[in-house]
Structure 1
Amino acid sequence: MTEGTQRKLAAIMSADVVGYSRLMGADETGTLAAMRAHRSELWNPVIEQYGGRVVGTAGDSILVEFASAVAAVESSIAVQRGMIERNAELPEERRMLLRIGVNIGEVVMDGDDIFGDGVNVAARLQAIADSGGIAISGNVYEQVSGKLDVAFSDDGEHDVKNIDRPVHIWRWSPDNQAPAADMDKDAPPLSDKPSIAVLPFDNMSGDPEQEYFSDGITEDIITELSRYPDFLVIARNSSFVYKGKSVDLMQVANDLGVRFMLEGSVRKAGSRIRVTAQLIEANTSGHIWAERFDRELVDIFAVQDEITAQIVSAMGRSIQAFELLQSRRKAPTSLDAYDKCLQASAKISSPDRTRYTEARSQAQEAIELDPNYAQAHAIVAQTQLVSFTSRWPEDPEGTLQAAYKSAQSAVELDDHNFFAYNVLGLCQVWQHSHDLAIASLQHALELNPNEARTRANLANALVFAGQPEEALEQLEIAMRLDPHHPPVYPHHRGRAYFVLRQYDKAELAFSQAVTQAPGWPWARLMLAAALTALGKVEAASAEVEAALKISPDMKLDQVPMIWPFREQGELDHLIGY
Structure 2
Amino acid sequence: MRYFFEDYALDTDRRELYRATDLIVVPPQVFDLLDYLIRNRERVVSKDDLISAVWNGRSVSDAALTTRLNAVRGAIGDSGEKQRFIKTLPRKGFRFIGQVQEVRDVAAPNPDDAPQSAPAIPDRPSIAVLPFANMSGDPEQEYFADGMVDEITTALSRFKGLFVIARNSSFTFKGKAVDIKDAGRRLGVRYVLEGEVRKAQGKVRITGRLIEAATGTHIWADRFERDMTDIFALQDDVTLAVVSAIRPRLFQAELALASRRRPEDLTAYDLYLRAIQKIVPSTREGLAEGLRLAQRAMELDPGFAGAAALAGACHSENVVRNYAIDPQFERKEAVRLMRLALSLDDGDPDTLAGVALISALLVGDCESEIEMSDRAVKLNPNSYYAWHRRGWVYEIAGQPEEAIRSFERSMRMSPVDPQAFIALTGIACALIELRRFDEAIIAAKKALRLNPCYPGPYRCLVAAFAHLGRDAEAREAAARMLETDPDFTISAWIDRSQLSKTAKLMIEGFRKARLPE
- TM-score, normalised via structure 1 length: 0.46
Hey, what does 2:125 align to over in structure 1? 217
> Is the contact between residue 560 and residue 571 of structure 1 (CA under 8 Å) also seen in structure 2?
no
**1:425 maps to which of 333, 356, 359:** 356
Query: Given the superposition, is the C-alpha separation of residues 340 and 568 from structure 1 closer, same or farther in structure 2, using an over 3 Å criterion?
Result: closer
- What is the alpha-carbon distance in structure 2 between the residues aligned to residue 562 and residue 459 of structure 1? 19
Hey, what does 1:261 align to over in structure 2? none
> Is the contact between residue 422 and residue 441 of structure 1 (CA under 8 Å) also seen in structure 2?
yes
- What is the alpha-carbon distance in structure 2 between the residues aligned to residue 439 and residue 474 of structure 1? 14
User: 1:261-281: per-residue Cα shift (whole Å, max 9, x none)?
Assistant: xxx99xx99xx9853432355
> Is the contact between residue 216 and residue 342 of structure 1 (CA under 8 Å) also seen in structure 2?
no
Hey, what does 1:573 align to over in structure 2? 508
Hey, what does 2:286 align to over in structure 1? 355
> Is the contact between residue 347 and residue 355 of structure 1 (CA under 8 Å) also seen in structure 2?
yes
Q: Tell me the secondary structure at the aligned position of residue 487 of structure 1.
A: helix
**2:425 maps to which of 473, 480, 491:** 491
Q: Tell me the secondary structure at the aligned position of residue 432 of structure 1.
A: coil
**2:195 maps to which of 246, 256, 279:** 279
User: What amino acid does structure 1 have at the position aligned with 2:269?
Assistant: Y
**2:374 maps to which of 442, 446, 457:** 442
Query: Given the superposition, is the C-alpha separation of residues 378 and 89 from structure 1 closer, same or farther in structure 2, using an over 3 Å criterion?
Result: farther
Query: Given the superposition, is the C-alpha separation of residues 273 and 497 from structure 1 closer, same or farther in structure 2, using an over 3 Å criterion?
Result: closer
Hey, what does 1:338 align to over in structure 2? 269
Query: Cα offset for 1:452?
Result: 2.3
Hey, what does 2:320 align to over in structure 1? 389
- What is the alpha-carbon distance in structure 2 between the residues aligned to residue 411 and residue 477 of structure 1? 25
Query: Cα offset for 1:461?
Result: 2.2
Query: Cα offset for 1:288?
Result: 7.0
User: What amino acid does structure 2 have at the position aligned with 1:388?
Assistant: V
**1:525 maps to which of 459, 483, 493:** 459
**2:13 maps to which of 57, 82, 91:** 91
Hey, what does 2:394 align to over in structure 1? 462
Hey, what does 1:477 align to over in structure 2? 409
Could you tell me which runs of 5 or more consecutive residues in structure 2 were left unpaired when the two chains were aligned: 1-8, 18-24, 29-74, 77-120, 130-147, 160-179, 216-234, 238-264, 513-517
Query: Given the superposition, is the C-alpha separation of residues 364 and 555 from structure 1 closer, same or farther in structure 2, using an over 3 Å criterion?
Result: same
User: 1:341-370: per-residue Cα shift (whole Å, max 9, x none)?
Assistant: 233233333313333322222222222122
Hey, what does 1:365 align to over in structure 2? 296
- What is the alpha-carbon distance in structure 1 between the residues aligned to residue 197 and residue 281 of structure 2? 32
* Equivalent residues in 2 for 1:20-35, closer than 5 Å: none
Query: Given the superposition, is the C-alpha separation of residues 425 and 92 from structure 1 closer, same or farther in structure 2, using an over 3 Å criterion?
Result: closer
User: What amino acid does structure 1 have at the position aligned with 2:428?
Assistant: G
Q: CA RMSD in A?
A: 4.7
Hey, what does 1:540 align to over in structure 2? 474
User: What amino acid does structure 2 have at the position aligned with 1:474?
Assistant: S
Query: Cα offset for 1:458?
Result: 1.9
User: 1:18-73: per-residue Cα shift (whole Å, max 9, x none)?
Assistant: xxxxxxxxxxxxxxxxxxxxxxxxxxxxxxxxxxxxxxxxxxxxxxxxxxxxxxxx
Hey, what does 1:451 align to over in structure 2? 383
User: 1:380-401: per-residue Cα shift (whole Å, max 9, x none)?
Assistant: 1122222222221201232122
- What is the alpha-carbon distance in structure 1 between the residues aligned to residue 509 and residue 344 of structure 2? 40
User: What amino acid does structure 2 have at the position aligned with 1:357?
Assistant: A
> Is the contact between residue 400 and residue 427 of structure 1 (CA under 8 Å) also seen in structure 2?
no
User: 1:405-450: per-residue Cα shift (whole Å, max 9, x none)?
Assistant: 1121111111212222122111211222222222221122122212
User: What amino acid does structure 2 have at the position aligned with 1:394?
Assistant: I
Q: Does 1:552 align with 2:486?
A: yes
* Equivalent residues in 2 for 1:56-71, closer than 5 Å: none
> Is the contact between residue 388 and residue 399 of structure 1 (CA under 8 Å) also seen in structure 2?
yes
User: What amino acid does structure 1 have at the position aligned with 2:372?
Assistant: S
- What is the alpha-carbon distance in structure 1 between the residues aligned to residue 505 and residue 347 of structure 2? 35
Q: Tell me the secondary structure at the aligned position of residue 490 of structure 1.
A: helix
Q: Tell me the secondary structure at the aligned position of residue 195 of structure 2.
A: strand
- What is the alpha-carbon distance in structure 2 between the residues aligned to residue 532 and residue 574 of structure 1? 5
> Is the contact between residue 461 and residue 474 of structure 2 (CA under 8 Å) also seen in structure 1?
yes
Could you say which structure has the higher strand fraction?
1
Q: Tell me the secondary structure at the aligned position of residue 576 of structure 1.
A: helix
> Is the contact between residue 464 and residue 563 of structure 1 (CA under 8 Å) also seen in structure 2?
no
User: 1:76-122: per-residue Cα shift (whole Å, max 9, x none)?
Assistant: xxxxxxxxxxx9967146x79xxxxxxxxxxxxxxxxxxxxxxxxxx
User: What amino acid does structure 1 have at the position aligned with 2:191?
Assistant: V
Q: Tell me the secondary structure at the aligned position of residue 279 of structure 1.
A: strand
Hey, what does 2:79 align to over in structure 1? none
Query: Cα offset for 1:493?
Result: 1.2
* Equivalent residues in 2 for 1:259-338, closer than 5 Å: 275-281=191-197, 336-338=267-269
Query: Given the superposition, is the C-alpha separation of residues 374 and 92 from structure 1 closer, same or farther in structure 2, using an over 3 Å criterion?
Result: closer
Query: Given the superposition, is the C-alpha separation of residues 232 and 390 from structure 1 closer, same or farther in structure 2, using an over 3 Å criterion?
Result: same
* Equivalent residues in 2 for 1:197-212, closer than 5 Å: none
- TM-score, normalised via structure 2 length: 0.51
- What is the alpha-carbon distance in structure 2 between the residues aligned to residue 560 and residue 348 of structure 1? 23
> Is the contact between residue 228 and residue 448 of structure 1 (CA under 8 Å) also seen in structure 2?
no
Query: Given the superposition, is the C-alpha separation of residues 467 and 92 from structure 1 closer, same or farther in structure 2, using an over 3 Å criterion?
Result: closer
Hey, what does 2:51 align to over in structure 1? none
- What is the alpha-carbon distance in structure 1 between the residues aligned to residue 448 and residue 291 of structure 2? 29
Hey, what does 1:504 align to over in structure 2? 438
- What is the alpha-carbon distance in structure 2 between the residues aligned to residue 468 and residue 374 of structure 1? 30
> Is the contact between residue 274 and residue 293 of structure 1 (CA under 8 Å) also seen in structure 2?
yes
